Amino acid sequence: MKLQLEKIELKEIELPLKYPFETSFGRTTGRRILIVKVFDKNGASGYGECVAMENPFYNHETIDTAWLMMTKYIAPLLSAARIERAAQVDETLAPIRDNRMAKAGVEAAVWDLEAKLLQKPLWKHIGGTREKIACGVSIGLQETTDALLEKVAREVESGYQRIKLKIKPCKDVQLVKAVRQKFPSITLSVDANSAYHYETDAPLFKQLDEYDLLMIEQPLAPGDLVDHAKLQREIKTPICLDESIVSLTNARHAQELGACRIINIKLGRVGGFSESRAIQLFAQAHDIPVWCGGMLEAGIGRAHNIALSTLSGFTLPGDVSASARYWEEDIIEPPVVVSPEGTIRAPVNPGIGYEVKENLIEKLAVKRESISLT
Ligand code: OSB
Ligand code: MG
């Protein structure tokens, strides 16, 4: 079976979030989402979702830069390469520096297409082995501590296996203390999204050591592996890197420096399934647990995250949770549901394994472009 890519179709949709999501870098009330559909000459198609946000505050990419990268650089490179397998997309797009979320949106669509042509669930096609994945939730900054405690209670009751709290300067230790007091035995972690500095904030992280956290995610700046390594030597709690790890090379450097003990892998941040798999294998070989991060995905991106989470190295609960936590109506059918034990069952149908609601996407579309790959 060889791929014969025919065209790529881009649509931008706007999807309001049920609840605003606030992190140290800002507040998100809705998502502008770039949906990628790739077509094969024999009529089959595959879907991807670009996770770049509206603004360059999580990383440098935005939905608008991703659109430009796809139309001006990614589609022409793919067209010229005449690739025959999804595993070739990564090397084909390597001449483009960074812009990994743009590349990943297209790469993931080609993987879905190839899995569909093979009549296999995507998770099996990429080498996944878990029939169900463990789920955690990421809870944004709330107006009040009471509101946060209420949210945590609701997610714990739903069965989620790990609760992650967003923190930022002045909304950190006291939040963790309040949640820990009320929920002494839950698996708890925090995510700072790079809001702190080693020189001034090391004592604060020593204070957080008192609360039995599973991990502290991305405390310092993305490029700052050296200070993460210093901080990790001074605290007991494992540091987990998110923004800092955009490639296997970064993962190697982090391991060598001792900059983290856990890695969060996001398909978009690292440029797709090939790089995610490489990072996961490296981490596994060095006893670094990994888990699948989230970017407030709609159903297509969520389905890709489920597939990724079935790989053997994903041993910690991820930020992959139910569609209903984000959306009134998701763009896939059925929506992603989480069991009372806090797990998601890997789908049995070919490709991403969920039906894409094409009519809904067309109704929500605010921008469209179709590019021939022949
Ligand atoms: O740092 O993990 C992050 C959302 C947007 C950008 C960055 C992050 C997040 C989340 C939400 O934590 C995870 C999710 O529920 O999708
Ligand atoms: Mg994070």
Q: What is the mean pLDDT of residues 216-235?
A: 98
Whether the pLDDT of residue 325 is over 90: the answer is yes
Give the tens place of pLDDT for each residue, 133-183: 999 999 999 999 999 999 999 999 999 999 999 999 999 999 999 999 999
Give the tens place of pLDDT for each residue, 127-144: 999 999 999 999 999 999
Give the tens place of pLDDT for each residue, 47-106: 999 999 999 999 999 999 999 999 999 999 999 999 999 999 999 999 999 999 999 999
Nearest 5°: phi and psi at 325? -70, -20
Q: Is residue 106 within 8 Å of 38, Cβ to Cβ?
A: yes
Residue ranges matching CATH 3.30.390.10 in the chain: 5-119+357-372
- β-strands 137-139, 163-166 pairing: parallel
Q: How much is the pLDDT for 8?
A: 98
User: Distance (Å, rounded) from C-alpha 87 to C-alpha 114?
Assistant: 10
Residue ranges matching CATH 3.20.20.120 in the chain: 125-345
The pick from 138, 158, 269, 326 for probing ligand 1's pocket by mutation, whose C-beta has the most ligand atoms within 8 angstroms, reads: 138
Residue type, 284: Q
Q: How much is the pLDDT for 63?
A: 98
Using the atom order of ligand 1, give the atom closest to the CA of residue 166: 12
For domain 5-119+357-372, say whether CATH 3.40.50.2300 is its number.
no
Find all residues with CB under 8 Å of 184, minimum gap 6, and list them. none
The pick from 295, 297, 336 for probing ligand 1's pocket by mutation, whose C-beta has the most ligand atoms within 8 angstroms, reads: 295
Beta strands in the chain (DSSP E): 5-23, 26-40, 45-50, 132-134, 137-139, 163-166, 188-191, 216-217, 239-241, 262-265, 290-292, 332-333, 343-345, 355-356, 365-372
User: Distance (Å, rounded) from C-alpha 18 to C-alpha 250?
Assistant: 35
Please report the sign of the dihedral spanned by the C-alpha atoms of residue 316, residue 319, residue 320, residue 321: positive
Q: How much is the pLDDT for 51?
A: 98
CATH topology of domain 125-345: TIM Barrel (3.20.20)
Whether the pLDDT of residue 280 is over 90: the answer is yes
Q: Is residue 36 within 8 Å of 70, Cβ to Cβ?
A: yes
Q: Is residue 354 within 8 Å of 347, Cβ to Cβ?
A: yes
Q: What is the mean pLDDT of the chain?
A: 98
Q: Is 72 among the residues known to form the active site? A: no
Q: pLDDT exceeding 90 applies to what percent of the chain?
A: 99
User: Distance (Å, rounded) from C-alpha 309 to C-alpha 206?
Assistant: 31
Residue 302 tokens, joined: 């969520």
